[in-house]
């Protein structure tokens, strides 16, 4: 059973869409179900402070929990620095949504993966150092995405 808050985010997702000229774009897929998500970040620098996430949008092709968790992560990252955004966990998303059915907890990983990928791309473009942990996650997410693409390719060419 979904919480009231999860249903609200599913029915009226926050920050749905795309950002043209985004500073970071992350794409991730859930290897179990094949659902996919894209997340777009626009950064803003004020004075000498660390840049913050000024705008964030997403596009998700997935289940109700995937849409709700995507919407939730956009609310959670807004105004955060990269360092703060990287600390957001699936438990933060679940808490924000006031719970998820146990069978749907894996769906929240899609949102975290897309965020990590958007940050990875942003840091790479900015020629900033990539922490080992983020590099390991990027390699895993990239591999998963390739497996999903391969699966769809086979499905599309099936007669
Ligand atoms: S079933 Fe695919 S992300 Fe939820």
Mean pLDDT of 30-42: 90
We report the CATH number of the domain holding residue 8 as 3.90.1010.10
Crossing angle for the helix pair 108-125 and 64-77, nearest 10 degrees?
Answer: 40
**Number of domains, the chain:** 1
Which residues are known to be catalytic? 33, 107
Which residue in 121, 132, 151, 154 sits closest to 27, CA to CA? 121
16-35 average pLDDT score: 92
127-158 pLDDT, tens digit per residue, is 999 999 999 999 999 998 888 888 878 777 77
Q: pTM for this one?
A: 0.93
Residue bearing the CA closest to ligand 1, atom 3: 107
For ligand 1, atom 4, name the residue with the nearest CA.
Answer: 107
Q: What is the pLDDT of residues 43-95, one digit of tens each?
A: 999 899 999 999 999 999 999 999 999 999 999 999 999 999 999 999 999 99
Residue 145: its pLDDT value, please?
86
List ligand 1's pocket residues with C-beta within 6 A: 30, 33, 35, 62-63, 65-66, 107, 110
**What range does the domain containing 102 cover?**
4-157
Mean pLDDT of all residues in 108-136:
96
Q: Look at residue 35 and give its three-state secondary structure.
A: coil
In this structure, what token pair is assigned to residue 10?
Answer: 């599913």
């Amino acid at each position: 059973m979904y919480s009231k808050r999860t249903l609200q985010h599913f029915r009226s997702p926050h920050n749905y869409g795309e950002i043209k000229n985004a500073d970071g774009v992350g794409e991730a897929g859930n290897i179990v179900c094949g659902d996919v998500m894209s997340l777009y970040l626009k950064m803003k620098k004020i004075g000498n402070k660390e840049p913050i996430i000024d705008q964030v949008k997403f596009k998700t092709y997935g289940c109700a929990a995937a849409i709700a968790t995507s919407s939730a992560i956009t609310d959670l990252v807004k105004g955060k620095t990269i360092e703060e955004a990287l600390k957001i966990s699936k438990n933060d998303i679940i808490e924000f949504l006031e719970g998820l059915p146990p069978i749907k907890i894996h769906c929240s990983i899609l949102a975290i993966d897309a965020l990590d990928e958007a940050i990875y791309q942003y840091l790479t473009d900015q020629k900033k150092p990539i922490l080992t942990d983020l590099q390991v996650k990027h390699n895993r997410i990239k591999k998963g995405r390739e497996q999903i693409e391969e699966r769809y390719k086979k499905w599309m060419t099936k007669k």
